[in-house]
Structure 1
Amino acid sequence: MSLSSASSFPSPGSAAMQANANWPAVGALAFGLFGLVTTELLPIGLIPPMAADLGVSEGAAGQAITATAIVAATTGPILVLFSGRLDRQKVVWMLGLCFLIAALLCVFATTLPLLLAARALLGVALGGTWAMAIALAMRLVPEGSVSRALAVIFTGVSIANVIAAPLGSWLSDILSWRAAFAMSAAFALIALTGQVATMPKLPAATPPSLASFRIALRKPAVLIGLATAFFVLCGNTAGISFLRPFLEGGAQINVTTVSLVLLTFGVAGFFGNLLGGALSARSPALAAGCGALAIAGATAALASQGQLLAVVFVATAVWGIGFGAFPVAISSWNAQAAPDQAESAGALLSTSFQLAIAGGGVLGGLMIERLSETAPIYTAGVAALVGAAVVLLIGRPSERRRTSHQVQRS
């Protein structure tokens, strides 16, 4: 979900940028997004202890991920469309305050409804910040420094993807699951303090219109990308959200080893990000398809041979590489699909990501409740296969035709 936005915001020349780079503000923005993504993903490593403490099933506890994703899916586009008159400095501060309050509410939640309400508030902060972060970074530095500013943002998100699940699992093991959210509250306080201290006044640029969204949705390539993203990420969320219950229950792995497995997934995902970027430069469709196939193969091996520890680590690493590569690849596809409506197409893709995460959390919860710990893992594989078929069998031929046409024109 995390690298989907690079192409979804204005080009550097479309908004007034500073003559001098404001790197402290970029850093504060990047740290805030790092904290938000870390907090979004924490429940992946916390579902069993959260469920036990709150007195609910693991499937119900898994909806903590769903609540955040549903709200984030709607908050981002709404903010892009309707916050044009607000100074972005104040918007960033308000979203940072929402993050802090949400994290504190998670720490003190004593029932599942209270936890879900806190996670919904987190979705407001996440969706709004993610919708604005790249465009803000482009306005905080001169045009020649934009790539470096974006690299700072994406590095923070990549680190969050690596540490969130294993760190949450480790903290819940030595302290409690509430300690993990207390850490998030500390992240939120640091980020908000930095943003208040460094963020300059940023008069709003004009957001995209509803007409631009309609034009983007009429493009077949955009629809192919949205469908592929939804299938792959919905299935992936169903599987990864309930990976810890599978490892502890189905594979009979202890908590310490579970943390190592989740760390393996995160580290592999970081390298998958790099690989996805390199492959996407040649063919976004092929890169997205290969990432989806890697997820399908790895989850099939994990579900069928998960009793072997070596298979668990290897399959999880391959899964992480595939998942790390996929968002970068599908974002590159999205950028090429609608270059004239980059903001709108990017907002649509971001919404597709969050809806897929929400749907995956619900689907995985139903699977583990009604079938077994293995069912969500198989679900991830089947959904990834469907997504791979869409982008490789439908998207790849259209990509070849588009490339051939561009070569002929040049």
Structure 2
Amino acid sequence: MSEPQPLPQPASAAWGAVFSMTLGVFGLVTAEFLPVSLLTPIARDLQVSEGLAGQAISTTAIFALITSLLIATVTRRFDRRHVLLSFSVLLIVSSIIVSMAENFAFLLVGRILLGVALGGFWAMSAATVMRLVPATDIPRALAIMFSGVSAATVFAAPVGSYLGDIMSWRSVFLLTAGIGALTFIAQFATLPSLPPRGRATLRVLVDLVQRPGMKLGLFSLVLIITGHFALFTYVRPFLENVTGVATAGVSGVLLGFGLANFVGTYLAGSLISRSLRMTIALMPMIMGLCALGMVGIDGALNPTIVLVAIWGMAFGGVPVAWSTWITRTVPDEAESGGGLFVAGFQTAIASGAVIGGVIFDYVGSLGVFSIGGIILVGAAIFATVVLRSPAVTPATEQA
């Protein structure tokens, strides 16, 4: 069987469109993870436990998962410009609904709509960027787009926590609706017509999963992201209950996480150029050891701040490394491959939030970080073993 070949690339780069995609990433990821920094006030206002409130994240992840698998097939006859614009509209609507929620069920409606937008956008994002710039500019364009994730990490946790304290958590979600409006305007002005291409059927997804190495590779990804989000969903309760940090202090620690995440995103590019396999295995090992270290020091403030920052920097490299793995493994079906990547990612986010919530309600923050850390260390070992197989490693890594 011949090696899969990527589809033709444009002759010139549409950088304005790439930056509008980055803004879309920023808005969607910000909205997705705002509940992390606002978990306590949301739970108090809606009169539910923090463990249950955390399921607002898992609900979004579940519907993002479903959408990521179906979106290419359902929209295969529509111009991708129009599909991407519809996701920005959903971001606006979902944020407004969440801000108006009077009970937890109504809040979940908004989070479901966000999941549809998030899963659809992420499934198409890498394939869209590959159509906006020449092949030689793809790494740079993907790095720019992923910087939107890092910027959202900086904004969603610390700024969300701070604004939620001085305003209200509802007002913070209204701000995300404003980000969605700006995104729509930017994408409307810059995105060119992008007629659908490729087969984009459910059969393609099945075929991609059956390719050598895909199952084990995706399972490794799921393990790593599950461990991370079991921790990240409940980082605020850990800081408040174990470390004893006040609300303003939580914002500062989370800001450190976000800034370190931003740095980690760019460091990952250099590490990946040396060894994609090493980067994939090293990042979860560092994250897991940080979590176990936080448990071991029993919330000592200064060491915890340092460990949270190292954790954030390590996680910055995870989505970059795994998206690189996917695009190198299935370059001929980038959109469907992106759907599988997002499905694995969102499965893990949902699993992490659910597992973390159950553990939190039974044994508290220390239990969450103990088990989450063990999962991450185990995932790193599993990925190290799995990626030794040529079947799981892209040809460009085997040289």
TM-score w.r.t. the length of structure 1 is 0.89
Residues of 2 paired with 1:235 and 1:260: CA distance?
A: 23
- Aligned position for 2:114: 122
Q: Give the alignment partner of residue 260 of structure 1, picking from 252, 265, 277.
A: 252
1:220 to 1:374, Cα distance in 2 relative to 1, 3 A: farther
- Aligned position for 2:196: 204
- Aligned position for 1:41: 33
Q: Deviations over 1:149-174 (max 9, x none)?
A: 43432222221122211111111111
Structure 1: gaps of 5 or more residues: 1-8
- Aligned position for 1:244: 236
Residue 157 of structure 2 corresponds to residue 165 of structure 1: yes
Residue 132 of structure 2 corresponds to residue 137 of structure 1: no
Q: Deviations over 1:53-103 (max 9, x none)?
A: 111000011011111111111112211223121122221222211111001
Q: Which amino acid aligns with 1:175?
A: M
Q: How does 1:166-315 map to 2 (within 5 A)?
A: 166-315=158-307
- Which range is displaced more, 341-350 or 185-194? 341-350
Residues of 1 paired with 2:260 and 2:311: CA distance?
A: 8
SS in 2 for 1:200: coil
- Which range is displaced more, 211-220 or 128-137? 211-220
Q: Which amino acid aligns with 2:206?
A: R
- Which range is displaced more, 89-98 or 191-200? 191-200
Contact 2:217 2:392 in 1 (8 A): no
1:335 to 1:92, Cα distance in 2 relative to 1, 3 A: closer
Residues of 2 paired with 1:203 and 1:117: CA distance?
A: 31
SS in 2 for 1:372: helix
Q: Which amino acid aligns with 1:194?
A: A
Contact 1:295 1:380 in 2 (8 A): no
Measured after TM superposition, the shift of residue 50 of structure 1 is 0.6
Q: Give the alignment partner of residue 8 of structure 2, picking from 13, 27, 51.
A: 13
Contact 1:102 1:121 in 2 (8 A): yes
Residue 60 of structure 2 corresponds to residue 65 of structure 1: no
Q: Deviations over 1:103-135 (max 9, x none)?
A: 101111111111111011001111111222233
Measured after TM superposition, the shift of residue 402 of structure 1 is 7.9
- Aligned position for 1:5: none
SS in 2 for 1:46: helix
Q: Deviations over 1:161-214 (max 9, x none)?
A: 222111111111111111211110110111112223333333222343434333
Q: Which amino acid aligns with 1:184?
A: T
Contact 1:12 1:143 in 2 (8 A): no
Residues of 2 paired with 1:368 and 1:129: CA distance?
A: 31
Contact 1:88 1:203 in 2 (8 A): yes
Residues of 1 paired with 2:326 and 2:313: CA distance?
A: 20
- Aligned position for 2:18: 26
- Aligned position for 2:90: 98
SS in 1 for 2:388: helix
Measured after TM superposition, the shift of residue 397 of structure 1 is 5.0
Q: What is the aligned-residue identity percentage?
A: 37
Q: Which amino acid aligns with 1:378?
A: S
Q: Which amino acid aligns with 2:302?
A: A
1:305 to 1:176, Cα distance in 2 relative to 1, 3 A: same
Residue 377 of structure 2 corresponds to residue 382 of structure 1: no
Residues of 2 paired with 1:333 and 1:200: CA distance?
A: 27
SS in 2 for 1:230: helix
Q: How does 1:82-97 map to 2 (within 5 A)?
A: 82-97=74-89
Residues of 1 paired with 2:154 and 2:104: CA distance?
A: 27
1:64 to 1:206, Cα distance in 2 relative to 1, 3 A: same
Measured after TM superposition, the shift of residue 267 of structure 1 is 1.3
Contact 1:272 1:324 in 2 (8 A): yes
